[in-house]
Amino acid sequence: MYLKSINPSNGEVINTFDEIHSDEISQIIEQSTVTFLLWKNVALESRLKPIKELSNLLRGNKDRLASIISNEMGKPIEQSKGEVEKCAWLCDYYYENSKNFLQQRNIDTEARESFVSFQPLGPILGIMPWNFPFWQVFRFAIPTICVGNVVIVKHASNVPACSIAIEQLFIEAGFPNHVYQNVLITNNKVESIISNKKIKGVALTGSTPVGKEVARQAASHLKKVVLELGGSDPYIVLKDVDISLAVDACVTGRLINTGQSCIAAKRFIIEEDIYEEFSKLFVDKMSEIKMGDPFIADNQIGPMARMNLREDLHIQVTKSINMGADLLCGGEMPDGEGYFYPATVLGNVTDAMPAFHEELFGPVACLIKVKDENEAVQVANHTNFGLGSAIFTNDIEKGKRIAEYELEAGCCFVNDYVRSDPRLPFGGIKESGYGRELSEFGMFEFCNIKSIWIK
How far does CA 57 lie from the centroid of its chain? 22
CB of 260 closer than 8 Å to CB of 231: no
Q: Which of 87, 146, 262, 447 is catalytic?
A: 262
Give the burial class of 180: count Cβ atoms within 10 A of its Cβ; 0-12 exposed, 13-18 middle, 19 or more buried.
buried
Q: Which of 167, 228, 373, 445 is catalytic?
A: 228
Does residue 79 carry a pLDDT above 90?
yes
User: Using CA atoms, how far apart are residues 391 and 414, in angstroms rounded to an integer?
Assistant: 5
The predicted pLDDT at position 218 comes to 98
Tens-place pLDDT, residues 5-35 = 999 999 999 999 999 999 999 999 999 999 9
- Segment 162-183 mean pLDDT: 98
329 is catalytic: no
* CATH code matching the domain that covers 233-414, chosen among 3.40.309.10, 3.20.20.70, 3.40.47.10, 3.30.420.40: 3.40.309.10
CB of 387 closer than 8 Å to CB of 230: yes
The predicted pLDDT at position 365 comes to 98
User: Using CA atoms, how far apart are residues 156 and 22, in angstroms rounded to an integer?
Assistant: 18
The predicted pLDDT at position 440 comes to 97
Does residue 304 carry a pLDDT above 90?
yes
Q: What percent of the chain has pLDDT over 90?
A: 100
DSSP bridge partners of 153: 126, 182
Does residue 111 carry a pLDDT above 90?
yes
Residue 275 CB neighbour total at 10 angstroms: 20
pTM of the model: 0.97
CB of 283 closer than 8 Å to CB of 135: no
Domain spans, the chain: 2-229+429-454, 233-414
* CATH code matching the domain that covers 2-229+429-454, chosen among 3.40.50.2300, 3.40.50.620, 3.50.50.100, 3.40.605.10: 3.40.605.10
Tens-place pLDDT, residues 263-272 = 999 999 999 9
228 is catalytic: yes
The predicted pLDDT at position 156 comes to 97
Tens-place pLDDT, residues 188-234 = 999 999 999 999 999 999 999 999 999 999 999 999 999 999 999 99
The predicted pLDDT at position 2 comes to 83
